[in-house]
Structure 1
Amino acid sequence: MMDPCGAVAVLDSAICRGLTKQELYAECNRQHTDCAVVFHLLPHADQRSENGGESYARAVMTMRLGFAKPQQQVVFVDPLTGRTYRVDYCWRLADGTIIVAELDGMEKYTNPGMTNGRSMQIVVNEEKQREDGLRRAGVSVIVRFTFGDVLHTERLDRKLAEAGVPKAVAEVHV
């Protein structure tokens, strides 16, 4: 009954909390209802999403827009500073190109709990330093998008396509 991309976010959360895919399959089998949708969506679940927004965005990218499934929470090390950076989404292409995408929210610039008392200027400067570090670590392209882009899929589609994110061989549109 739920939007498939939203359902993937729920499945991600359940798996992240320790439920195995096998346990979810077993529970569906115990129910006397049609669980075909759950069986269809379960392969799309991934416990590496850090929040529902990341899960939903990944589901939109792959299931609605047909992009290749990204790796999530990939760590890069800046060879100059030794700092580590974890990215939301990463695609490594056969030609060596590395594309990362980051789901951005305004909270990291304005929420005192996330800025730790730093000014917006300092936070923006740190984001610039982070992007520089990612490039030194081998990242070729950095795509930034908002949840608004996820909801207006044509914007997300354009950003990912312009960045060179490949489409999946077999597209799944929902």
Structure 2
Amino acid sequence: MARARHCLDHADGASANPGESWGRAQMIEAALPIPRLQSRYDLPGGKHAICDYDWDGRVVGEFDGFGKYRRELLGPGQDPEDAVIAEKLREDGLRALGLGVIRWTWWHLTHGHLVPLLIQRLPRHGIAL
């Protein structure tokens, strides 16, 4: 019962997919600072970015589930290469705002590497652990 209460206390419907939820669960279990979810940033050039995780407007975290690069999910006439370039430009825009960017994948989640990555990288951006 206590475990169920703990899960409910930390539930947040803002996670966009299971990978984001699992990443956040690992952060909670490791007692890491809990980020805001789905923060919007206006980028240079009039575009905007919705970031998966946001620690105090200093650093954002991005879970790369690779779905956005699958051909069947792309727009008409768009190639996976176009999606990769767009993602790189988006990250450049976030960095131009002074944000740090930390990225991870399913591999980090399934092999226990997310928490060590965040322990290493968050303090570099002024986030106390």
Query: Aligned with 1:164: secondary structure?
Result: helix
Matches within 5 A, 1:163-174: 163-164=121-122, 166=127
Shift of 1:167: 6.0
State the aligned residue count. Answer: 125
Q: Aligned pair 1:148/2:124, yes or no? A: no
Within 5 Å, give how 1:50-89 maps onto structure 2: 50-63=16-29, 65-78=30-43, 80-89=44-53
1-structure distance, mates of 2:24, 2:93: 24
Q: TM (normalized to structure 1)?
A: 0.65
Residue matched to 1:20: none
Structure with the higher strand share, 1 or 2: 2
> What is residue 73 of structure 2 aligned with on the other side?
114
State the match for 1:28 in structure 2: none
Percentage of identical aligned residues:
34
Determine the C-alpha separation between the residues in 2 that align with 1:87 and 1:103: 9
Q: 1:60 to 1:118 in 2, by over 3 A?
A: same
Give the corresponding residue for 1:103.
63
The structure having more radius of gyration, on CA atoms, is 1
TM, length-normalised to structure 2: 0.85
CA distance in 1, matches of 2:115, 2:4: 26
RMSD value, Cα = 1.9
How far does residue 161 in structure 1 lie from its aligned partner after superposition? 2.1
Aligned equivalent of 2:12: 46
**Alignment partners' CA distance in 2, 1:118 and 1:45:** 35
List aligned pairs for 1:26-37, cutoff 5 A.
Answer: 35-37=1-3
The one-letter code of the counterpart of 1:132 is D
Indicate if the aligned counterparts of 1:102 and 1:142 stay in contact, CA closer than 8 A.
yes
